[in-house]
């Protein structure tokens, strides 16, 4: 994640120049002195609005990363432990940037423990490690449910839903399942990564689902075409992926992402082509971070 993207910088610069220019032209043609008073106020209002998020992010990254947070990540995130010092600093930066921007609340807007908030941010930081220009596609934030699961009517401690990624609305996550995903590092399952993957998959399909995968593949196969083929192969032959991957293409991608970030070695051995596409998409090779997984 970045303090401010290049596109946003360009827009801020453009309008910062445009507003005074328009003011001067209006004054030149109208001769109204009031224009010279209104335009600086308008410029100040615009800059205050446009720079609110970058300034908030800047304050966040300038605040020292708490020792208690670092100790917690070392204890609870195998991925974080496997990073070198420079990459850990980037991980920490993405963590605080995400937390500075995004709403993470319990049901009804209640507060969530810092440990839970940190695990959610850590999941985001894992997936963004190789893509510093990315923004997590979570405009509505995250809602945390107590216990291991909830049902389709969103009643807690019933049903078998550990997480949900609706197209509109916040990401939903069951708190105890979230914790288990980070605690059990050898099962290839992490509900947070699974649900985040749905957001990234939808975004990719909307922006370039019909575009060739390019250098990630030898052919001109598209994102949608590749994952349809991989899903069909899983249905016909099975694989090391969890059985839930058979449900549909979206679940296949999400389950593959769980394996990619938790057990990259076995995934690369069993599905080298799939692994290569994921490595290209996320711009990282988790085998370097988790060599023993």
pLDDT tens per residue, range 146-204? 999 999 988 887 888 999 998 888 999 999 999 999 998 778 899 999 999 998 898 88
Region of residue 31 (left: phi > 0; alpha: psi -120 to 50; beta: else): left
Quick check: 217 pLDDT over 60?
no
The pTM of this model reads 0.86
The pLDDT score that the predictor gives to residue 130 is 92
Give dist(CA 207, CA 211) in Å, integer. 9
pLDDT of residue 212: 67
- Which residue shows structure tokens 């699961």? 149
| 161 or 209, higher pLDDT | 161
Beta-carbon contacts of 254 under 8 Å, excluding residues fewer than 6 positions away, are 194, 195, 197, 198, 201
Q: Tell me whether strands 171-174 and 163-164 are parallel, antiparallel or unpaired.
A: antiparallel
Reported as a single tens digit per residue, the pLDDT across 47-91 is 888 888 888 888 888 999 999 999 999 999 999 999 999 999 999
Orientation of helix 67-76 relative to helix 85-101, angle to 10°: 110
Q: Is the same domain home to 174 and 145?
A: yes
**Looking at the domain assignment, is residue 293 inside a domain?**
no
Q: Do 223 and 144 reside in the same domain of the chain?
A: yes
Got the DSSP string for the chain? Answer: --SS-HHHHHHHHHHHHHHHHHHHHHHHHH--THHHHHHHHHHHHHHHHHTHHHHHHHHHHHSPPPHHHHHHHHHH-HHHHHS-HHHHHHHHHHHHHHHHH--EEEGGG----HHHHHHHHHHHHHHHTT-TT---S-TT-EEEESSS-B-TT--BTSSSB-EE--SSS-EEEEHHHHHHHHH-TTSS--HHHHHHHHHHHHHHHHHHTTSB-GGGSSS--BHHHHHHHHHHHHHHH--SS-GGGGS-HHHHHHHHHHHHHH-HHHHHHH-HHHHHHHHHHHT--GGGT-TT-
- The verdict on 258 and 284 lying in the same domain is yes
Band (210; pLDDT cuts 50, 70, 90): low
Beta-strand relationship, 142-145 and 163-164: unpaired
The Cβ-side half-sphere exposure at 77, using a 13 Å CA radius, reads 31
Same domain, 76 and 50: no
Same domain, yes or no, for 199 and 212?
A: yes
* CATH label of the domain that carries residue 144: 3.40.390.10
Query: Are residues 52 and 177 both part of a single domain?
Result: no
Same domain, yes or no: 125 and 159: yes
- Answer yes or no: is 1 within a domain: no
Q: In this model, does residue 244 exceed pLDDT 80? A: yes
Q: How many domains does the chain have?
A: 2
Q: Which domain holds residue 40?
A: 6-62
Residues 82 and 160 in one domain: yes
b/e 100-113 (16+ beta carbons within 10 angstroms → b): bbbebebeeeeebe
């Amino acid at each position: 994640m970045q303090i401010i993207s290049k596109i946003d910088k360009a827009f801020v610069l453009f309008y910062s120049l445009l507003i005074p220019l328009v003011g001067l032209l209006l004054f030149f043609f109208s001769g109204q002195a009031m224009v010279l008073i209104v335009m600086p106020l308008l410029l100040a209002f615009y800059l205050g609005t446009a720079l609110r998020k970058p300034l908030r992010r800047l304050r966040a990254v300038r605040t020292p990363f708490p020792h208690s947070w670092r100790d917690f990540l070392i204890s609870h995130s195998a991925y974080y432990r496997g990073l070198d010092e420079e990459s850990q600093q980037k991980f920490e930066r993405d963590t605080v940037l995400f937390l500075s921007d995004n709403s993470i609340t319990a049901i009804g807007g209640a507060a969530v423990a810092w440990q839970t908030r940190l695990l959610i941010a850590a999941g985001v930081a894992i997936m963004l490690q190789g893509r510093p220009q990315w923004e997590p596609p979570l405009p509505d934030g995250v809602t945390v449910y107590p216990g291991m699961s909830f049902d389709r009517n969103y009643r807690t401690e019933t049903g078998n839903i550990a997480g949900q990624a609706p197209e509109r609305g916040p990401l939903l996550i069951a708190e105890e399942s979230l914790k288990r995903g980070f605690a059990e590092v050898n099962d290839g399952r992490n509900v947070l990564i699974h649900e985040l993957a749905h957001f990234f998959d939808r975004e990719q399909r909307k922006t370039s689902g019909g575009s060739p995968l390019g250098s990630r593949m030898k052919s001109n196969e598209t994102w949608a075409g590749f994952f349809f083929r991989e899903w069909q192969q899983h249905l016909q032959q099975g694989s090391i992926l969890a059985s839930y991957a058979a449900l549909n293409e979206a679940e296949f991608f999400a389950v593959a992402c769980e394996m990619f970030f938790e057990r990259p070695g076995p995934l690369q051995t069993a599905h080298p082509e799939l692994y290569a596409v994921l490595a290209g998409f996320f711009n990282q090779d988790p085998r370097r971070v988790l060599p023993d997984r």
